[in-house]
Amino acid sequence: MSELPVSCANLLIHVYQPTDGPIEDQFAGGGDDEDEAVVVTTVCELPARVWEGLWDTLVYEDDIKSRLLNYIYATLIFSDANIDPNIVSWNRVVLLHGPPGTGKTSLARALAQKLAIRLQHRYSAGTRLLELNAHSLFSRWFSESGKLVQRAFSGVMEMADDPDIFLVLLIDEVESLTAARAGAMSGTEPSDALRVVNALLTQLDKLKLKRNVLIISTSNLPDAIDSAYVDRADIVQYVGPPSRNAIYFILRSCVIELIRAGIIRAITLNNSAALLILAKKKIADYLRIKQELLPIAEACANEAQNRPDQPMQPEELRVARASVMLLNLATKCVGKSGRSLRRLPVLAYARHMGSAGLGRGPSDIEVWLAAMERAIDEDSRGRDTVRDV
């Protein structure tokens, strides 16, 4: 790949100051008791320090992140052009669905954080992330749940009236609010749930007229969501478990963080694509690693042709061995969620290193990778027993 001189590129540099502001609760009364109040939304000013760097930790095989950003840019361009919404319509709703632990909620928060940085020149009052507490919208009082939804969204509408603020509304586990109305019609769901769905759809139709609002919803059970809500979503994006290459990147980032913290002895790991260069130099044979375990990338093949054969130095050999060990571990972790991968170092330390490692300084990466491999085997066996019960 040829390099583009900086002088030929248009650089967009965003300078920002993350905030340490608190996450505020918004309450709504419910039922016949005027003193009863529930937290319906939490409000966070962005960009927030607590989510600094979150965007870069999310790894997906396809271009989910860029696709979501481009969607936001498209809605802004169409809004600025005063496109007639009766002719060309969009609802400003995104639905992220997939198995638990795949990073849907993290992606929503990271996207809000990224937009706060990218759009700060456009919205002088900043960006707010509002997280809707779906479970709090069901009242013990009959017929009150629909009214709670209306009260919750009235607060959102009030904030959206300020054109200098950009609002991102996150509805986590949206299926709890949008259970299919077919169940209510057949009598298998309470009629109060039907009122909640109708109230939510009505509020979404009102919010679509606001240019400064984005609604992101997540779900582990997309089949349970009412079809009318799914139809209102401009983007319905599946977020699945990470691929092997993505797993390698995630585990590599965990190792790099442990190196930074002084827990693992310093080493520079190859990225997964660079392992093909090692194969071209016949290092895979030396390490007794099967060729099919190495990811195939045309870009790396070209890079390997431009790099002359050189004898491996001891440190290069150590890096190569550790990188291939990490790739083998990533292969074993295929099917695991990103959430389970990022807790793997903690489990490895707790189960196979423990207090014996306290005060002894950084450990070799080979020791850590072996401990992580044993930890993933034990974790898999434990979860298999849960499924068998």
- Determine contact, residues 188/132, Cβ cutoff 8 Å: no
User: How confident is the model at residue 72, as a pLDDT?
Assistant: 96
Q: What is the mean pLDDT of the chain?
A: 83
User: How confident is the model at residue 301, as a pLDDT?
Assistant: 45
Say which residue the tokens 């320090």 belong to. Answer: 49
Instruction: State whether residue 6 is helix, strand or coil.
Output: helix
- Determine contact, residues 42/136, Cβ cutoff 8 Å: no
User: Which of 238, 255, 276 is a domain's end point?
Assistant: 238
User: Is there a single domain that holds both residue 217 and residue 250?
Assistant: no
User: How confident is the model at residue 182, as a pLDDT?
Assistant: 59
User: How confident is the model at residue 241, as a pLDDT?
Assistant: 93
User: How confident is the model at residue 302, as a pLDDT?
Assistant: 46
User: How confident is the model at residue 282, as a pLDDT?
Assistant: 45
In a domain, 8, yes or no: no
Instruction: State whether residue 37 is helix, strand or coil.
Output: strand
As given in the structure block, the two tokens for residue 200 are: 């939510």
- What is the C-alpha to C-alpha distance for residues 37 and 28, in angstroms, rounded to an integer? 5
Instruction: State whether residue 256 is helix, strand or coil.
Output: helix
Rounded to the nearest 5 degrees, what angle is found at the Cα of 232, between the Cα atoms of 231 and 233?
90
In a domain, 89, yes or no: yes
Residue 290, domain extent: 244-388
Rounded to the nearest 5 degrees, what angle is found at the Cα of 297, between the Cα atoms of 3 and 310?
75
User: Which of 207, 238, 269 is a domain's end point?
Assistant: 238
User: Is there a single domain that holds both residue 148 and residue 194?
Assistant: yes
User: Is there a single domain that holds both residue 140 and residue 266?
Assistant: no
Instruction: Give the pLDDT confidence of 182-202 residue by residue, as tens digits.
Output: 555 555 555 677 888 888 999
- What is the C-alpha to C-alpha distance for residues 335 and 240, in angstroms, rounded to an integer? 9
User: Is there a single domain that holds both residue 226 and residue 94?
Assistant: yes
- What is the C-alpha to C-alpha distance for residues 269 and 324, in angstroms, rounded to an integer? 10
Burial of 191 (0-12, 13-18, 19+ CB in 10 A): exposed
As given in the structure block, the two tokens for residue 49 are: 């320090």
User: How confident is the model at residue 87, as a pLDDT?
Assistant: 95
* Amino acid letter, 5: P
- What is the C-alpha to C-alpha distance for residues 366 and 326, in angstroms, rounded to an integer? 9
Pairing of strands 213-219, 235-238: unpaired
CATH number at 63 reads 3.40.50.300
User: Is there a single domain that holds both residue 67 and residue 144?
Assistant: yes
Mean pLDDT check: name the lowest of 37-46, 176-185, 323-332, 333-342: 176-185
The domain total for the chain is: 2
Say what the pTM is. 0.84
Between residues 144 and 58, the one the model is more confident about: 58
Kindly report the backbone phi and psi dihedral angles of residue 122, in degrees, each rounded to the nearest multiple of 5, phi listed first.
-95, -35
User: Is there a single domain that holds both residue 197 and residue 253?
Assistant: no
Q: What percent of the chain has pLDDT over 90?
A: 54
In a domain, 6, yes or no: no
pLDDT tier, 140 (very low <50, low <70, confident <90, very high otherwise) = low
Report for 11-15, 159-163, 348-352, 358-362: range of highest mean pLDDT: 159-163
Instruction: Give the pLDDT confidence of 265-296 residue by residue, as tens digits.
Output: 999 887 765 554 454 454 445 444 444 444 43
* Amino acid letter, 147: K
In a domain, 115, yes or no: yes
In a domain, 5, yes or no: no
Element (H, E) at 346: helix 344-352
User: How confident is the model at residue 382, as a pLDDT?
Assistant: 84
DSSP 196-255: HHHHHHHHHHHHTT-TTEEEEEEES-GGGB-HHHHHH-SEEEE-----HHHHHHHHHHHH
Mean pLDDT calculated for residue range 64-86 = 95
Instruction: Give the pLDDT confidence of 212-251 residue by residue, as tens digits.
Output: 999 999 999 999 899 999 999 999 999 999 998 899 999 9
User: Which of 223, 238, 253 is a domain's end point?
Assistant: 238
User: Is there a single domain that holds both residue 226 and residue 146?
Assistant: yes
User: How confident is the model at residue 12, as a pLDDT?
Assistant: 85
pLDDT tier, 36 (very low <50, low <70, confident <90, very high otherwise) = low
- What is the C-alpha to C-alpha distance for residues 378 and 109, in angstroms, rounded to an integer? 32
User: Is there a single domain that holds both residue 177 and residue 298?
Assistant: no
Residue 31 confidence (pLDDT) above 60: no
In a domain, 4, yes or no: no
pLDDT tier, 313 (very low <50, low <70, confident <90, very high otherwise) = confident
Mean pLDDT calculated for residue range 351-362 = 73
Torsion angle in degrees (nearest 10) through CA of 110, 114, 115, 119: 160
Instruction: Give the pLDDT confidence of 108-139 residue by residue, as tens digits.
Output: 999 999 999 999 999 999 999 999 988 777 76
User: Is there a single domain that holds both residue 49 and residue 76?
Assistant: yes
| CA-wise closest residue to 204 among 174, 173, 237 | 174
As given in the structure block, the two tokens for residue 52 are: 């600094």
User: How confident is the model at residue 276, as a pLDDT?
Assistant: 47
User: Is there a single domain that holds both residue 136 and residue 153?
Assistant: yes
Instruction: State whether residue 119 is helix, strand or coil.
Output: coil
User: Is there a single domain that holds both residue 113 and residue 68?
Assistant: yes
- What is the C-alpha to C-alpha distance for residues 37 and 133, in angstroms, rounded to an integer? 13
In a domain, 201, yes or no: yes
In a domain, 322, yes or no: yes
User: Is there a single domain that holds both residue 225 and residue 297?
Assistant: no
User: How confident is the model at residue 296, as a pLDDT?
Assistant: 39
